[in-house]
Amino acid sequence: MPRDNVAKPEQIQMNGPKFITDMGRRIAMADVNTGAITTLSRYAVWAHTGRKHEVIEVGNDIDDLMKRHNVPPARVVPVRRPLYPSAED
């Protein structure tokens, strides 16, 4: 999906249909106590459950998530831009 075809956060009406957040790339986090590495998925599908928004699925395949949850490109919101290019971009 082209990066110029994404919504700005202020353009998304958050209490409406599902939307997807894009972290820009997968994020690796280390537990400071054990050193265990956890890798977070790049994309998260959000839905309003009546009381609040909840992540209902995460993944790294944007096309699959958009298709299965019927989310158009205009409802994909970049959370942050990566500081450095990665092999996945």
pLDDT at 7 over 60: no
**The predicted structure's pLDDT at residue 85:** 56
**The predicted structure's pLDDT at residue 51:** 80
Residue 83 lies in a domain: no
Count of Cβ atoms closer than 10 Å to residue 30 Cβ? 10
Residue 61 lies in a domain: yes
Domain extent, residue 50, equals: 9-78
pTM of the predicted structure, to 2 decimals = 0.68
Residue 70 lies in a domain: yes
Residue 71 lies in a domain: yes
Task: Name the domain count of the chain.
Answer: 1
Residue 85 lies in a domain: no
Residue 29 lies in a domain: yes
Q: Can you tell me the mean pLDDT for 6-18?
A: 57
Share above pLDDT 90 across residues of the chain, in percent, rounded to a whole number: 51
